């Protein structure tokens, strides 16, 4: 689903190379140069390229320029011909039977491995003429003020394709804002050693930081207070009252459990699992600020944001600006992202201070054992 849908899933990136001032004016032409080429009348198996944010069929930006306020908005489209494996197998078997019959006429008994491979490729080429490619669209929003980019996918293969296509088009390197990368972007390179000191032989800094963050957030909102202060000292509320996923064990003994916070016994069991070594790997978080409410599922390993739901936008009262709906939606998404960053920054202040974190983990252990409640918890 794209960013204008009722809920959206996306991955955050940042540009790590200096952006030349002249690039912004060149972006429309660069996008057109890298636009997707239609493969409907070819036998190509797939194609990818840029299209308009407003119309995934528009490869010349007739619907409007990519610039929308302080943002560049466009989409990556991927067209794939999907031929069912059973269809390929059927026509390959038919081709092999014909080949076998022809060989017998010529006194040959076997079909070589190379010939089988060649026949399969010929069958696939023939079938591609009969199957139209299926298009998929993935929105891109590039904030020109801070060079943060949102890409509307959390699939590993799509993320890799996006990074490659972005570099090829704009000659800029980008990095995914994983837990460690986000920490570095917030605290600077001077904090790199501390961030990587969270590594263990079995876990990467991303895994440990993300899991510790979600565990701390669950503890903090459960027993200390659901209220936090944003960067402008404005209060907002956080709760993890809908769904938490904990994972533990390795290999065949790996166990993943998702529990609903509406069931106290399940939550108590999940907290006890944390005490026994399980980790929070995903959590559904509810954020409330002023009159705005947001729900978002956060994955600990890479901080991808899944099924982010923002307040509904009144589409009946639109002004003359064709981008007003887009800008209002982006404002709401940015509000949620900013609140999550505020939480993460507060967590890092504890996590990267050994004395503070030791004290916090002691309190978290009591909470996991059910020996620390909201009434007995230290106030923060």
What is the dihedral angle through the alpha carbons of 80, 81, 87, 90, rounded to the nearest 10 degrees? Answer: -110
Residue 269: what pLDDT?
61
Q: Does residue 321 have a pLDDT over 50?
A: yes
Q: What is the mean pLDDT of residues 346-355?
A: 93
How confident is the prediction for the chain on average, in pLDDT? Answer: 86
Q: Does residue 100 have a pLDDT over 50?
A: yes
Residue 147: what pLDDT?
97
* Spatial separation of the C-alpha atoms in residues 369 and 275, rounded to whole Å: 7
Q: What is the mean pLDDT of residues 32-52?
A: 94
% of the chain residues with pLDDT over 90:
53
Q: Does residue 315 have a pLDDT over 80?
A: no
CB 294 within 8 A of CB 40: no
CB 79 within 8 A of CB 36: yes
Region of residue 44 (left: phi > 0; alpha: psi -120 to 50; beta: else): beta
Encoded tokens for 97 = 């039977």
What is the dihedral angle through the alpha carbons of 347, 351, 353, 356, rounded to the nearest 10 degrees? Answer: 80
Lowest mean pLDDT among 61-70, 87-96, 167-176: 87-96
Residue with tokens 């600077």: 188
* Spatial separation of the C-alpha atoms in residues 308 and 150, rounded to whole Å: 13
Residue 275: what pLDDT?
62
- Which DSSP letter does residue 200 get? B
Between residues 106 and 12, the one the model is more confident about: 12
* β-pair partners for 66: none
Confidence of residue 263 (pLDDT cuts 50, 70, 90): very low
């Amino acid at each position: 689903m794209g960013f204008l849908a009722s809920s959206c899933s996306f991955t955050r990136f940042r540009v790590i190379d200096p952006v030349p001032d002249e690039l912004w004016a060149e972006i429309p032409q660069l996008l057109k140069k890298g636009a997707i080429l239609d493969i409907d009348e070819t036998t190509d198996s797939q194609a990818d390229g840029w299209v308009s944010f407003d119309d995934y069929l528009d490869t010349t930006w007739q619907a409007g320029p990519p610039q929308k306020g302080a943002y560049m908005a466009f989409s990556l489209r991927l067209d794939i011909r999907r031929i069912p494996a059973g269809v390929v197998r059927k026509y390959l078997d038919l081709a092999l039977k014909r080949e076998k019959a022809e060989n017998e006429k010529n006194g040959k008994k076997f079909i070589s491995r190379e010939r089988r491979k060649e026949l399969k490729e010929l069958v696939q080429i023939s079938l591609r003429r009969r199957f139209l490619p299926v298009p998929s669209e993935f929105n891109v929003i590039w904030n020109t003020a801070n060079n943060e980019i949102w890409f509307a996918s959390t699939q590993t293969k799509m993320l890799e394709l996006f990074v490659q296509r972005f570099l090829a088009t704009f000659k800029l390197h980008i990095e995914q804002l994983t837990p460690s990368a986000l920490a570095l972007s917030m605290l600077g390179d001077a904090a790199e050693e501390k961030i990587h000191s969270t590594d263990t032989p079995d876990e990467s800094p991303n895994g440990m930081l993300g899991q510790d963050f979600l565990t701390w957030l669950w503890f903090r909102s459960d027993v200390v207070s659901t209220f936090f202060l944003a960067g402008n000292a404005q209060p907002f509320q956080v709760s993890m009252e809908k769904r938490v996923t904990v994972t533990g064990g390795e290999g065949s003994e790996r166990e993943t459990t998702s529990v609903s916070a509406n069931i106290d016994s399940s939550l108590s069991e999940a907290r006890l699992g944390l005490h026994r070594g399980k980790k929070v790997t995903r959590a559904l978080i509810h954020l409330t600020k002023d009159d705005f409410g947001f729900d978002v599922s956060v994955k600990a390993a890479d901080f991808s944001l899944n099924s982010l739901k923002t307040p509904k936008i009144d589409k009946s009262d639109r002004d003359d600006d064709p981008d007003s709906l887009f800008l209002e939606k982006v404002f709401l998404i940015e509000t949620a992202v900013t609140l999550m960053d505020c939480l993460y920054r507060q967590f890092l202040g504890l996590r990267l201070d050994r004395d503070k974190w030791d004290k916090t983990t002691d309190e978290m252990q009591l909470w996991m054992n059910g020996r620390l409640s909201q009434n007995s918890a230290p106030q923060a």
